[in-house]
């Protein structure tokens, strides 16, 4: 069992401090929700954890399996078992979903063993079929070009399938709250619920409580002004739905957000 333990994380974006000391423990085997108003730094946290070059870590640590992942390259973080589903996935015309996934799996195998010849095609196909069945996806989806002409829901489907195929131990799902229609919401939720288990820790980043009607979180964290100001159970999200963020702003009046 490994937890992701974030300590006093400070991150600058274009010279401006956005994260001002984030403390958060994401436990493997649990689903945590990260909520907070727009512009508070939720996506910044996700990008900093994956090592995006525009997000400059000025202070703090993030420990996973005995390593401070902030000192690792993005591909090393991925190989360690951390997965980030992008809020705005890019299209790769000419590359099918299946080929993309096979390349990702092979890159990981090759990094572990330079002599690796890649996953045998029959084994890959079998794995992909099993994972697609688990997510109740039509098999024809694997043959489509990644994200090209995909609806919002299909892009989410592709991300969830990626997660199912790569089997991360920590998954960070950053959601476009405004853009997520009910279909996409259901896909993400059902996918997360299907993959939920003792080996997976999930951080669902969301602006609205809505998605949490489908994915029952074990823990809810609230970010305000670049810090986690409140951590609680699923009822905390319901409280937010009813009362908004103002009571928290008042409680933490020193925080500007």
Six-digit token string for 212? 């949490």
Site for ligand ADP in 5-34 (CB under 6 A): 13-14, 18
The full DSSP string for 157-213 is HHHHHHHHHH--SEEEEE--TTT--HHHHHHHHHHHHHH-STT-EEEEEESSSGGGG
Nearest distance from C-beta of residue 31 to ligand ADP, angstroms: 19
- CA–CA distance, 119 with 110 (Å, rounded to integer): 10
Cβ 11 to ligand ADP shortest distance, Å: 9
Number of residues binding to ligand ADP, judged by CB under 6 A:
12
167 close to 104: Cβ distance less than 8 angstroms: no
Member of 40, 78, 206, 209 binding ligand ADP (CB under 6 A): 40
Residue 39 found at the interface with ligand ADP (CB under 6 A): yes
Smallest distance from ligand ADP to CB 10, Å:
13
Quick one: 51 or 81, whose CB is closer to ligand ADP? 51
Q: Which is nearer to ligand ADP, 142 or 224 (CB)?
A: 224
Closest approach of ligand ADP to the CB of residue 200, in Å: 23
Residue nearer to ligand ADP on the CB measure, 58 or 193: 58
Contacting residue, 26, 35, 42, 131, with ligand ADP by CB under 6 A: 42
Could you give the CA distance from residue 144 to residue 101 in angstroms, rounded to a whole number? 12
Strands (E) in the chain, as ranges, are 3-13, 16-27, 31-35, 55-64, 67-68, 82-85, 170-174, 201-206, 219-224, 227-232
x/- mask, Mg ion, residues 4-43, rule CB under 5 A, reads --------------------------------------xx
Q: Which spans of this chain sit near ligand ADP (rule: CB under 6 A)? A: 13-14, 18, 36, 38-44, 54
Contacts with Mg ion, residue ranges (CB under 5 A): 42-43
């Amino acid at each position: 069992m490994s937890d992701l333990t974030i300590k006093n994380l400070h991150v600058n974006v274009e010279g401006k401090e956005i994260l001002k000391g984030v403390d958060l423990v994401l436990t493997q085997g649990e689903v945590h929700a990260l909520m907070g108003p727009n512009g508070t730094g939720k996506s910044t946290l996700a990008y900093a954890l994956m090592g995006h070059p525009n997000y400059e870590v000025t202070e703090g640590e993030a420990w996973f399996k005995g390593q401070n992942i902030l000192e690792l390259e993005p591909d090393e973080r991925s190989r360690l078992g951390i997965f980030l589903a992008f809020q705005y996935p890019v299209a790769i015309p000419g590359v099918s979903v299946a080929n993309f996934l096979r390349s990702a799996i092979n890159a990981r195998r090759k990094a572990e063993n330079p002599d690796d010849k890649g996953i045998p095609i029959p084994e890959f196909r079998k794995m992909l079929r099993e994972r697609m069945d688990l997510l109740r996806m039509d098999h024809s989806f694997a043959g489509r070009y990644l994200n090209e002409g995909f609806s919002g829901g299909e892009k989410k489907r592709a991300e969830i399938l990626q997660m199912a195929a790569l089997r991360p131990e920590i998954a960070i799902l950053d959601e476009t709250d405004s853009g997520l229609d009910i279909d996409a919401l259901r896909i993400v939720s059902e996918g997360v619920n299907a993959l939920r288990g003792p080996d997976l820790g999930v951080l669902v980043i969301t602006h609205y409580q809505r998605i949490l009607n489908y994915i029952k979180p074990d823990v809810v964290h609230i970010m305000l002004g670049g810090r986690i100001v409140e951590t609680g159970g699923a009822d905390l999200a319901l409280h937010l739905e009813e009362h908004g963020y103002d009571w928290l702003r008042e409680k933490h009046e020193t925080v500007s957000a």
